[in-house]
Chain A
């Protein structure tokens, strides 16, 4: 009886925040609810989520791993989507950690965002994020994990664009979205690959069937696909350029997303899929190389960053790179401990960036030097030529982003424009088109913007 109760309680960890987000969304329909109501609903939900996570810890301590099956979400002929959760040490630890961090963030943000125009939006998105993270770590199948992954992704993008009246946050949000969407292909490929290869995406079944399918090429493909997905979410080389840009969001969301939880979701995926990654040496070598390159580039970039949040963001990516190396080398327990410790430290550092100048002044007064002085001293230890070269490379972030733009983004956009020109040419065969599509000058139908004409009035 007790295991069933604890399992049911644990399974509710993602439900509470999702339910609270829906309640607040409904409250928004008639008009903007008060900050007090939103804060109360949110706080209650995250406390309940914490209680559910505590159930998970108790379950793990008393009964060991549990494969909790709730049936199928939907069935169609030979295919079904299983609703299954895996309660083991990894998911229990992560779930409790997530609940604590989210609760702290909510408490911090109620005061921090007081009278901010986007107060309600922030809490709705934070609740969606909390639901997504909890689902991600409790998911017993790759497909369910993908759903949590997507929730985390969309809430992250929308929080980067939180200050939507400015151009930079919106542009940064698009960058984050593009990276996420591209790298999500990896997770989807991994999930459908698992289904095709082993006939299931349920982790427990996958791990049980792996020994009979060792050394197959499909294992390598699935492993590499999952690594690619993890690289995107955890801002690893070469797709990590979005992380410093994501600092445009509110500090509280930067702390919880890019210092603490979201950026470590990739590492969690690697830990969860560890038996699959171990199937192939190539996958592990790729993990080590990606982690090593990221650690070096991000550490150097962090040293030369001009603002506190970017410096912490690069430092985060660097440490996550080290976790990738640990996973590649098979030190999974070390990686988990590293994850929790690092996420806690970075979370605190991000929240303190608001007081960075004050902290520096105190440090200067107490010690006679600051962290920046120490960093500068390290650079001065090198001779001038390599120092200049390395400094420039670090400033440019090793030109990874321009290279990706040149070799990936630009060709796609050029192809799009070429196809559009062909389409317009084809349409022009049917008569003169008064307008143009891609890359053309402003269309003739653009309204008259002269002062005399004024703005077009609504026709409703």
Chain B
């Protein structure tokens, strides 16, 4: 019975929002109704994802498959599952989509923005669920299209061109990787050359260039220096629901852990040290730029880049504390950046600008907004009692084994990020206020669902930080599996444990016997 429910839940998580996006875009004209339908769908997806997480989040292996039937189109199979790696990302993505819908001003939800948020939600859920490289690539590229479509209409030509280049580069890299995978699959006679689980089990050697291509796509999606331009441009200039792109970066770290690390362990060992260095440089670069900005959205954008550098550094250590911390940091930074970006958008909607030279003194009119920004900032810089503290602690402990210099650099980065966010807080919310800020007659505090969404985000970060063990336990199996990766032995074609757990393989053997 539970399996049946599960089989229903998995397609619902990605298909329902996509269908709803289509309905909202083409069949509903009234903006209020569009918003109501979108919010209703987001609630359903959120509760479903939460149920899936609570029911199966602690499984460390791909035990629950959906629609693992015959080919759908050529070699593309809708092979999807929930495991420790994606279990937390599913409800988190739905929650952030919901928070975006609830917090976006009604006037900004016109022009089918609600449909775009649902489309991003559906494609991201598809990415997280996919166990098939082709499906993953399809959703991967598709998740950026709604934002790209919006940037066409924005007046920022640089943003549109940067986004176009980012999507084009991702598409080229992923298509090339799929072609090479198909060739390798044909050579080894595999029925499903894109199936990640089958590839992991079979131990069929893939050309390293496939790993490089996926690595490039993941680094681009994470916004790692020097591939970060799309991220800062989106943070600064993206219209309306800018909190959503924060989820894109989590897809980058997810891609590394889902595809690159399990299928290309030798490549990972080779590039570990350079990736640590690149991650450290990215973290420092983002922090240095964030500290000197005058625009609130730009501060958050560069802070975001810095956080992604920290995530990459942790993942690249390839040891258990580092990977565990990085995966946790990838999740918490999404919540923090989304929360901060939502507050920045709320300031922009009320004040008409996020230029901090035109703001100041907003605490008198909006104490809840101010408190929200302060708490999210404290969480973002790893204040004790928040998820980021645990994540940064683990990542730095992971770095200590082999990369002491990078660990020291991360401490400097954390300090710089703290200064950058507090400076932004001071200039935006404290002090006597600029002439412009003092003339804002109708600057209102958080109210209704805006307030509740902010409280929920903060509560998530605080509760997760105070009681982090369950969050770590969810991914413990994945981290453990990634820890024991070994390059395939070409002599006997035996692949070490990659992702699937031992018991499942034993069951398979028994069935075959």
Contacts and interface: CB of A to CB of B under 8 A. Distances in A.
B8 interface: no
Interface string B429-441: 0111001100111
B397 A192 contact: yes
Contacts of B439: 449, 454-455
Nearest to B399: A192
B350 A460 contact: yes
A185 B415 contact: yes
B383 A154 contact: yes
A81 to B, nearest CB: 7
Given A443-B355, A459-B350, A154 B378 contact: yes
Interface in A136-189: 143, 146-147, 150-151, 154, 157, 161, 164-167, 170-171, 173-174, 177-178, 181-182, 184-185, 188-189
Interface in B347-361: 349-353, 355, 357-358, 361
Interface in A416-460: 416-417, 419-420, 423, 426-428, 430-435, 437-440, 442-443, 445-447, 449, 454-460
Nearest to B232: A423
A133 to B, nearest CB: 14
A177 B411 contact: no
Contact of A458 (B291, B361, B444, B469): B444
A430 B292 contact: no
Is the interface on chain A under 10, 10 to 19, 20 to 34, or 35 or more residues?
35 or more
Given A76-B324, A434-B156, A442 B108 contact: no
Contact of B404 (A79, A196, A417): A196
A458 B349 contact: yes
Contacts of A434: 155-156
B431 A167 contact: yes
Interface in B290-314: 291-295, 298
Interface string B394-428: 10111010001001100110111011001100100
Nearest to A151: B384
B369 to A, nearest CB: 12
Interface string A232-247: 0000000000000000
B435 A449 contact: yes
Main secondary structure of the interface of B (DSSP, over half): helix
Contacts, number: 197
A307 to B, nearest CB: 22
A154 B378 CA distance: 9
B158 A433 contact: yes
A94 B390 CA distance: 28
B341 interface: no
A413 interface: yes
Contacts of B88: none
A446 B105 contact: no
Interface of B: 105-108, 155-158, 160-162, 165, 229, 232-233, 285, 288-289, 291-295, 298, 319-321, 324-325, 346, 349-353, 355, 357-358, 361, 363-364, 378, 383-385, 390, 393-394, 396-398, 400, 404, 407-408, 411-412, 414-416, 418-419, 422-423, 426, 430-432, 435-436, 439-444, 447, 450, 455, 468-469, 472, 476, 479-480, 483
Given A419-B288, A438-B294, A447-B436, 6 more contacts: A79-B398, A166-B432, A416-B289, A434-B156, A438-B293, A455-B442
20 contacts: A74-B469, A76-B479, A157-B422, A164-B430, A166-B432, A167-B431, A174-B423, A181-B418, A182-B415, A188-B396, A419-B285, A430-B158, A437-B298, A440-B294, A455-B352, A455-B442, A458-B350, A459-B107, A459-B108, A459-B350
